[in-house]
Amino acid sequence: MIHSYNSQDKALLAVDCIIFGFDKEELKILLIKRDFEPQKGKWSLMGGFLKRSEDLDQAANRILHHLTGINNVYMEQLYSFSKVNRDPVERTVSVAYYALINTEEHNEELTQQYSAKWFNISEAPELIFDHDKMVKKAISRLRYRTSTMPVGFELLPQKFTMRQLQKMYEAILGEKLDKRNFINKINALDILHKTNEKDMESSKKGSFLYMFDEEKYKRKAADGFSFKL
């Protein structure tokens, strides 16, 4: 049994980010066309390598920022993928992170300055390496998180309608929800603030805009959410 540190194999440590967005109807992921070998030209998650001077959370944020200009978003470590030949060039272990971002705020820059593109979850192309597995796992984690805390305000603009919120949950969960039950439950949580503005784009009648109330949220969060739609 040899325990000396320097007789051990080392590996490259990559970080790959699954970036979720939501755009009125569909849950989306952000992909880039890989501009280096191997698999140049194929679609890929946002990825990079861990540096000696940073931890994984920092690396994930740096990589996201670097490839998209985005900063300060919700990110969470997902899982580490380590099949021996997952990357054909080098032995690489990849730690996957997922993030939730608001597509409206971040659309232009992304698609223009960076060669990133949003894809509907259901229409995404095949990805390199084991990235498809990562996405699958991220979706299931996102669904779980849904029942744990009121996820996904990160995915919407600051002001949003009940209908948008509902559609977002439907997109995440992959099922239709009842309109009245949904509103009742959301209201029961008591973490929204109803503005007196209306969004006139989606209908003739117009629908009220709501905002997420951080104060109320924090008070609730203290004694632990549990939350089912």
Chain residues 15-74 in contact with a second copy, contact rule CB under 8 A: 35-36, 49-57, 66
Sign of CA dihedral 135, 130, 13, 106: negative
Question: Helix 179-189 crosses helix 162-173 at what angle (to 10 degrees)?
Answer: 100
Question: Could you say which of DNA, a second copy, none residue 49 binds, taking C-beta under 5 to 8 angstroms by partner kind?
Answer: a second copy
Which residue of 33, 41, 80, 218 would you call a contact of a second copy, by CB under 8 A? 80
Least Å from the CB of residue 138 to DNA = 25
From the CB of residue 170, how many other CB atoms can be counted at a distance below 10 Å? Answer: 17
Which residue of 24, 25, 69, 82 would you call a contact of a second copy, by CB under 8 A? 82
Is there binding between residue 109 and a second copy (CB under 8 A)?
no
Cα–Cα distance for residue pair 52/55, rounded to 1 Å: 8
From the CB of residue 88, how many other CB atoms can be counted at a distance below 10 Å? Answer: 9
Q: Which stretch binds a second copy (CB under 8 A): 80-88, 158-166, 188-196, 202-210?
A: 80-88
- Residue 154: φ, ψ to 5°: -65, -25
| Cα-based distances in Å from 181 to 40, 176, 178, 225, 228 | 48, 12, 5, 19, 11
Contact set with a second copy (CB under 8 A): 1, 3-6, 8-13, 35-36, 49-57, 66, 77, 79-80, 82-84, 89-93, 95
Contact set with DNA (CB under 7 A): 161-163, 178-181, 183-185, 188, 198, 202-208, 228
